[in-house]
Structure 1
């Protein structure tokens, strides 16, 4: 992950504190998602999955740009367990 982080920063001064993460995400919004996918795949993961609220257009755009697509055969079902 650290090697990916250095490569994604491409020589920029990006640190792993909150401000550094924010700068990297501003410069490359898909960097953190790509790092997570790389880590997941290295652990044997075969399929990424993302829950994105219907009204969050920016998140839908980012996920599509990263190769995620809706699967019409799946619908999320939820049941509140409190309240």
Structure 2
């Protein structure tokens, strides 16, 4: 399925055990034209941290309700690479 990047950037990201934050940036693979990572701004949960989440972690993308659900827990996401390490 194809989505506009601006539409995805308005989504809230949900882990299996609670809300993580919002999509801040999208990193693309320019050779394959695919999303490589979503940079998630963790807002109040982990203030000032932006973590990278691979599309492999996506459970569902619900653009109608502006929500991306992940197969991962908050602890797993907390141990993900941060945007500053990319």
How high is the TM-score relative to the length of structure 1? 0.24
Q: Which has the higher contact order (CA 8 A, sep 6+)?
A: 2
Q: Greater strand percent: which structure? A: 2
Q: Greater helix percent: which structure? A: 1
